[in-house]
Amino acid sequence: MKYITGIPESTKKRVVIIGGGFAGLQLAKSLRKSEFQIVLLDKNNYHQFQPLFYQVATAGLEPSAITFPLRKALQNQKNIHFRIASLEKVEPETNQIKTDLGMLNYDYLVLAIGADTNYFNNESIRQHATPMKSLSEAINLRNVMLSNFEKALNETEQSKVDSLLNFVIVGGGPTGTELAGALAEMKKHILPKDYPELDFSKMKIILLEASDKILNGYSDNSSKKGEKYLDKLGVEVQTNTFVQNYDGKKVELASGDTLATDTLIWAAGVKGNLVKGLEPDMIDKGGRLKVNRFNQVGNQEGDLTNVYAIGDLALMKTEKFEHGHPQVAQVAIQQASLLSKNLQSKEKGKALKPFKYSDKGSLATIGRNLAVADLPFISFSGFTAWILWLFVHLMAILGVKNRLFVFINWVWSYFTYDQSLRLLINPNLESKKSELMDRSTPQTNLHPQ
């Protein structure tokens, strides 16, 4: 049986953390001075700042500005070991996990692998829609949008041009709302200059939401303000609208109506990433792992006392949060911080502290000078909310250099109404071109006789 190599055996108890997102990275950093040996596994070697994916997708920020190398974040921490690996199976009966690198023993296992796009078992939507739940997907969405504009230049049939220019976004939460606003600002300030041959007055940006309002979970006032701002930007908002099918060209709604578009952006929901090896009754229908008030996986007593789940993957039901906590960064960070203390308390035989979420508020930006803010003590909108959104997100980004680059990009964009990041980069296409060139280039004889 193959085991992950290079991680030294130690008399210290080993905490294995799966996932280097907000929850996993916060836990690793919180435990760095503890008496544990920490092993952090992630399929990428970087931490990604998910709230700004939409700005990468709309060419507002460079991908590198919202990512940070995990090894750099954990530098000089001798008791923390990082490996690029993917979790394949948990074996709680032997306190082991199986990864693509091999097996690994643990004393405590913390699952922080987050959530992925939920297509609600609709295979046609999964095949043809464009998601935005990772950095690579955000870059792909940018490529799709820019490709559409390039293709539209070479179309003579107006219906095909309209389909390429129309964008339908499904999901009226913060992700869908912020993306719709950013697209609308591109349509107004940038695209007519880049593509003067195209008539962008015919471009449609349609936001579909299944519930009766956008920004569900926000105050009614913020929801109404958000819809008002989108309307001001020219976004068509349709609430109480269900998508039944999408074939890559046509969106079919439950009402019987159809929408022609080459691009359906799916931001309608998330589900927990699959964890194999756990009992089915530990997994909620949304793919989230059921945890008790101490984030132990299992029922309210915690079936697996040394297996924990935190962040988006964890489903903790309380009186206030009957359906679990919102899947936002603050929940993940707070759960990780408390779990760090509880693991150390457990080793010392002290009582554990149950998790209680401290809601610091919700923010969403719709466009330039347009945002909504729901704080515990007040709700407001407009320019002040927008400035607060900018500050909070800027300070949450890892790395001083990244913050500086993001700040410069935002300032430049604010005063120029433009960015120079609209790069259509397709690695697969470039590799194919290189391969074809290699095959077609005659081989020169360097040693003639």
pLDDT one-digit tens code per residue, 53-109: 999 999 999 999 999 999 999 998 889 999 999 999 999 999 999 999 999 999 999
pLDDT single digits (tens) 356-408: 999 999 999 999 999 999 999 999 999 999 999 999 999 999 999 999 999 99
Same fold, 14-43+85-117+270-347 and 123-268: yes
Please report the beta strands in 75-176, taking only residues with DSSP state E, as ranges in sequence order.
80-84, 87-91, 96-99, 102-105, 108-111, 115-117, 167-170
pLDDT single digits (tens) 163-212: 999 999 999 999 999 999 999 999 999 999 999 999 999 999 999 999 99
pLDDT at 434 over 90: no
R_g over Cα of the chain: 24
Q: Residues 331, 351: contact at Cβ < 8 Å?
A: no
**CATH number belonging to domain 123-268:** 3.50.50.100
Q: Residues 43, 112: contact at Cβ < 8 Å?
A: no
pLDDT, mean of residues 129-142: 95
Q: Give the percent of the chain with pLDDT over 70.
A: 94
What pLDDT score was predicted for residue 149? 96
> What are the residue boundaries of the structural domains of the chain, listed by start?
14-43+85-117+270-347, 123-268
- Sheet containing 80-84: give its strands across: 80-84, 37-42, 14-18, 108-111, 304-309, 296-297
Right CATH for 14-43+85-117+270-347 from 3.40.50.1000, 3.40.50.300, 3.90.180.10, 3.50.50.60: 3.50.50.60
pTM of the model: 0.90
